[in-house]
Chains A and B, each alone.
Chain A
Amino acid sequence: MTVGSVPLWEQPVLRQTAGETLRPGSFELTDRGADLLGFAPGWKILDVGSGLGASVNRLRSRYGVEAYGVEQSIRQLEQASDTSNLVQATGDSLPFAGGSFHAVLCECALSLFPNPGAGLAEFQRVTMPGGFLILSDLFADRAAPAEPGSCAGRAMPLASIRQQVECNGYEILRVEEHTVLLKDLAARLVLAGGGSEKECGCAGRKGLGYYLMIAVKGY
């Protein structure tokens, strides 16, 4: 999702329509993943692609977990209200020791990785044995030519995502479709946008969906 050279997630219109989370569903899928896995006080959680740190703050306050965020965009970090638990790094080179986290969260960000497989391998490395992966992101009904900097243009088929997750040492526990959340945000962006159909790639591209996937790392 890009307009000119500025990606959608760096534009004020996304914050106005999606709120601090900058993604479909706001905290709905964050909470669903945390509730399904029973996040408990003391758990160490890493949010990769943490943006403004909204999920990190949410998980700390709602579940009492020790949550940290990794974000590569300096602009996003500069706009975050609290950077005390956020680190500037890329998702495929995480500055944490192996086996550090009970769970790794990656919300609406994996499709932006230059190499999602390398990212998943890194998530697996920093997750402790028996720990969890929570992914939520766009998927496409078929592979499309990648558009740099566009999450809609880089969305992968769900079968490919499943395969890459399993190839990186995870067992998939659950996959849910939440495409209605994507449509809802795309509709809000259309209404709030300046009239261009290119405001949001999700609105212009057919066959896009949104998923929540939960997986466990083997012992």
Chain B
Amino acid sequence: MSVIKVPEIDSVDWSCAACGEELVRRPVELEYLDSQFTVELPVCPQCNMVLIPKALALGKMHQVEQLLEDK
């Protein structure tokens, strides 16, 4: 399945506190219950730490979790 591009990520401009590297957008595998999604997210190119912006975590990702939980 194709990589999902989340519009909110376009405005993210962060650096990794540990490495000092600017985050770059890369496909990241997200799993929840039995579903798996490949989503483009900001990643540190040095240590591969992934940033999930708060608005995304509390917004769409929360909505997806509820949807998959059938709530």
Contact = CB atoms under 8 A, between A and B. Distances in A.
A190 B64 contact: yes
Contacts of B60: 190-191, 193, 195
Interface string A145-179: 00000000000000000000000000000000000
A203 B4 contact: no
Instruction: Please report whether the interface of chain A is mostly helix, strand, loop or mixed according to DSSP.
Output: helix
Closest CB pairs A-B (n = 10): A187-B64, A191-B4, A192-B4, A184-B35, A190-B63, A190-B64, A190-B60, A191-B60, A187-B67, A203-B67
A19 B3 CA distance: 11
6 contacts: A17-B2, A17-B4, A183-B68, A192-B6, A195-B59, A197-B63
B1 interface: yes
B2 A191 contact: no
Contacts of A180: 34-35
Interface string B32-46: 001101010000000
B56 to A, nearest CB: 9
Contacts of B8: 195
How many chain B residues sit at the interface, stated as a range, is: 10 to 19
Interface of B: 1-2, 4-8, 34-35, 37, 39, 59-61, 63-64, 67-68, 70
A16 B2 contact: yes
A154 B25 CA distance: 39
Contact of B68 (A19, A187, A192, A195): A187
Nearest to B32: A187
A60 interface: no
Given A191-B64, A195-B8, A183 B1 contact: no
Interface of A: 16-17, 19, 26, 180, 183-184, 186-188, 190-195, 197, 203, 206
A206 B71 CA distance: 8
A54 B68 CA distance: 27
A186 B8 CA distance: 18
Contacts of B35: 180, 183-184, 187
Given A16-B2, A17-B4, A195-B7, A188 B59 contact: no
A184 B37 CA distance: 9
